[in-house]
Amino acid sequence: METNNPETYDGRQDHIPALKTPEIESFTNVYGGRDYTIDFTVPEFTAVCPKTGLPDFGTIYVSYVPTDRCVELKSFKEYILSYRNVGIFHEFVVNKILDDLVKAIDPKSLKVIGDYNARGGIKTIVTREYKKA
Instruction: Give residue 77's identity as a one-letter amino acid code.
Output: K
How far apart are alpha carbons 102 and 97 in whole angstroms?
A: 9
Beta strands in the chain (DSSP E): 26-28, 38-48, 55-65, 69-71, 109-116, 125-131
Residue 91 labelled as part of a binding site: yes
Residue 71 labelled as part of a binding site: yes
- Do 87 and 53 touch, CB atoms closer than 8 A? yes
Active site residues: 49, 56
Distance of CA 92 to the CA centre of its chain: 8
Residue 110 labelled as part of a binding site: no
* Rg for the chain, CA atoms, rounded: 16
> Binding site residues, as ranges?
71-73, 90-91
> Binding site residues for substrate, as ranges?
71-73, 90-91
